[in-house]
Structures are given as structure tokens and as C-alpha cells.
Amino acid sequence: MSETKSTIAGLAKGIFKDRGSKFLAFAEPITDEEHAKQRIAWYKKKYHDARHVCYAYRLGENLWRTKDDGEPHGTAGMPILRSIDAQKLDNILVVVVRYFGGTLLGTGGLMVAYREATKEALKNAEINA
């Protein structure tokens, strides 16, 4: 038996800063994979001047995707997805836009930053059961 999951009511935002880098997080409900792809393309166009536009989404138990967008493998998309899963959320997309501040954060620092940015957005989200 699968566990019950919730989604969010609408767009929620969060921000996290570390050593000059700024991480803007956007969480929003999605209906299907095509909807997720359209929204990701929109964020990439809107934030074309950002260094990285990373994301994760979950649609049901077995459909999820992540993207590190040039960050070291596993340092952006997976921390975003783990934050989504920790809140037991479904039908959700989280995009985190990074503006590089000139100081390398290292893999551990990146994982923390993407996780914390996502947590900030989800903290500001209205959860629907």
C-alpha cells in the first residue's frame, strides 16, 4: 500500500544565500510531465542570466526527474528531490536558480544550499492534502 501524499496549492518562493551566491527557489504544482517541461523552459528563459537553473519534480511514486544544470553531479537536483520527498509531496516542481557569487562552495556546500533553498520555498507553500 502506498502512502498518501500531498501537493501545494500554488507558487511558493524561497531564497538562500551563501558566500555571495544567491539561490532563488520556486515550488509549484504541476499536472503532468509536459507541464513540468513547459515550466522549466519558462524559468530558463526568464533567468537566462543565471549560472545554473536546477530542478526536480515528482509525479506519482515512480515518475521523477532531476537536473544539476552544470553543477557537479548529484549536488543540486537530488537534494531538491529529497526535500520534496521529505515533505511527502507529489505533483510538484521545484526550480532553484543560482547566481554565482564568486566563491566555490564545494560539493557539500552546494548540496546544503540547494536543500536549504528548497526548504525555504516549501516552508512558504500552502499544502493541500
What are the domain boundaries of the chain?
A: 13-128
Residue-wise pLDDT tens digits, 18-66: 999 999 999 999 999 999 999 999 999 999 999 999 999 999 989 999 9
The predicted structure's pLDDT at residue 4 = 65
- pLDDT, mean of residues 84-102: 96
The predicted structure's pLDDT at residue 128 = 87
The percent of residues above 70 in pLDDT, for the chain, comes to: 96
Residue 1 banded pLDDT, cuts 50, 70, 90 = very low
Residue 36: how many CA atoms within 13 Å on its side-chain side? 22
What is each CA distance from 100 to 7, 18, 64, 103, 114, in whole angstroms?
30, 10, 27, 8, 13
Contact of 52 with 71, CB cutoff 8 Å: yes
The predicted structure's pLDDT at residue 69 = 97
Question: Structurally, what CATH architecture does the domain formed by 13-128 represent?
Answer: 2-Layer Sandwich (3.30)
